[in-house]
Chain A
Amino acid sequence: MSLIVYIAVMAVVTYLIRMIPFAFFRKKITSRFFRSFLYYIPYAVLSAMTIPAIFYSTGNLVTSVAGTVVAVILAYFDLPLIVVALSASAAAFIFGLF
């Protein structure tokens, strides 16, 4: 199978998954239950993606936990996304030096 066919198939399938609901769902949802569901979905998706994966994200439990703790504290005090994200990485790096 030619490489370009593989890449094209991957790209088309991935695009359609994103495009169909985004382009063709035009109505405002009126069901209170469904609206509530969609309200919670972003937080639930991010939480499920982050935990427990964040503890494996640097390949080392100690540095991952150090980065996580720093991120949780800074996020709790409403610091900007980029500050939280880079501080987590810096903490993981510093703990990795020991």
Chain B
Amino acid sequence: MKSNFLRGMYHGIPIALGYLSVSFGFGIMAAKAGLSVFAASAVSATNLTSAGQAAGVDIIAAGGTIIEMILVQLTINIRYSLMALSLSQKLDRKFTLPHRLAASYGITDEIFAVCSAQKQPLTPAYMYGMILVAFVGWVTGTALGAEAGQLLPVSVNSAMGIVLYGMFLAIIIPPSKKQKSVLAVVIAAAAVSILFKYVFTMVSGGFAVIISAVAASLAGAALFPVKDEEESAP
């Protein structure tokens, strides 16, 4: 139990480092929008998501309606439902309902990514360890950004922007090397994502990711159905 928690914390370190820089940027933005350090930190502590929070603060600053807030959060964050569904298939028996209610709070892009890459079933302790470390990084970065945003050298702050993407590449490249089907899905998803970025620019970023991923995965499932021994190891 304890070692699972520690292993989760260890796996959470790169996530927390990436979050520190991303949430630092969010803190600066929230402060500019008129939120106090405490309010900005409260948004980060209760939401634990980057794009949704940024859009939410825009709505707060503009005095938008609650309906608008709900629709924007749904649109940007609906990808988490897909991730939660995917993770629900590889949970350890220790994951009872109370644990599921608690741990679901921490399903972020990065935590999902690292959890998906685990060979063994996920235990609550493992996820809690990871979520705790990531949470500390996310909220600390937000508070620091809101408090002292303009103090960090631009060169350091901008170089930190690539940390999380580097981690994503480290997750998708090794399996792509071993399995041609994964490589094909990865390339297809990237290609559709590029189309949205440069051609169908009217689609928002959140939707573009969902459509790209669903289209590529449907094609992958149709062309390369997984055998039983593969499905336990995504």
User: Are A and B part of the same complex?
Assistant: yes
**B35 contacts across to A, CB distance below 8 A:** 3
A-B contact count (CB 8 A): 305
Write the chain A residue with the least CB distance to B205: A53
In this complex, how many residues of chain A approach chain B with their Cβ under 8 Å: the count is: 76
Given the contacts A75-B173, A81-B167, A49 and B109 also touching, CB distance less than 8 Å: yes
| A47 contact set on B, CB distance < 8 A | 168, 172, 185-187, 189-190, 193, 212-213, 216
Using a CB–CB distance below 8 Å, which chain A residues touch chain B?
1, 3, 5-11, 13-15, 17-23, 25-26, 28-29, 32-54, 57-60, 63-64, 67-68, 70-72, 74-76, 78-82, 84-90, 92-93, 96-97
A98 to chain B, nearest CB (A): 11
Contact of A37 among B48, B163, B165, B218 (CB under 8 A): B218
Interface SS of chain A: helix
Measured CA separation A80–B156 after assembly (Å): 22
A63 and B81 within 8 A (CB): no
* B60 contacts A3, C-beta separation under 8 Å: yes
User: Interface readout for B167-179 with A: 1 if CB under 8 Å, 0 if not?
Assistant: 1111111111100
Q: Is the CB of B107 within 8 A of A18?
A: yes
Partner of A44, one of B155, B165, B189, B208: B189
Cβ of B1 under 8 Å from chain A:
no
15 A-B pairs with CB atoms under 8 Å apart are A3-B35, A9-B69, A17-B78, A26-B88, A36-B221, A36-B231, A39-B234, A42-B113, A45-B109, A45-B112, A45-B189, A63-B158, A79-B170, A81-B170, A81-B171
B 43-55 to A, binary, CB cutoff 8 A, 1 in contact else 0: 1001111001100
The listed residue (A10, A32, A89) touching B69 by CB distance below 8 A is: A10
- Chain A nearest CB, measured from B230 CB (Å): 7
Q: Are A23 and B163 in contact (CB under 8 A)?
A: no
Q: Which residues of B are interface residues toward A (Cβ below 8 A)?
A: 11, 13-14, 17-18, 35, 39, 42-43, 46-49, 52-53, 56, 59-60, 63, 65-66, 69-70, 73-74, 77-89, 97, 100-101, 103-105, 107, 109, 112-114, 116-117, 155-156, 158-177, 181-182, 185-190, 192-194, 197-198, 208-209, 212-214, 216-218, 220-222, 224-226, 230-231, 234
B49 to A: closest C-beta gap in Å: 6
Complex Cα gap A64–B190 (Å): 17
Interface centre among B155, B168, B175 (most CB of A within 10 A): B168
Q: Give the docked Cα–Cα distance between A68 and B173 (Å).
A: 12
Contacts A32-B225, A85-B14 given: A97-B155 contact, CB under 8 Å? yes
A22 adjacent to B87 (CB under 8 Å): yes
Most A CB contacts (10 A, CB to CB) among B11, B48, B100, B103 go to B100
Cβ-closest 3 pairs across A and B: A88-B166, A11-B46, A84-B170
Residue of B at shortest CB range from A23?
B100
Are B97 and A23 in touch, CB under 8 angstroms?
Answer: yes
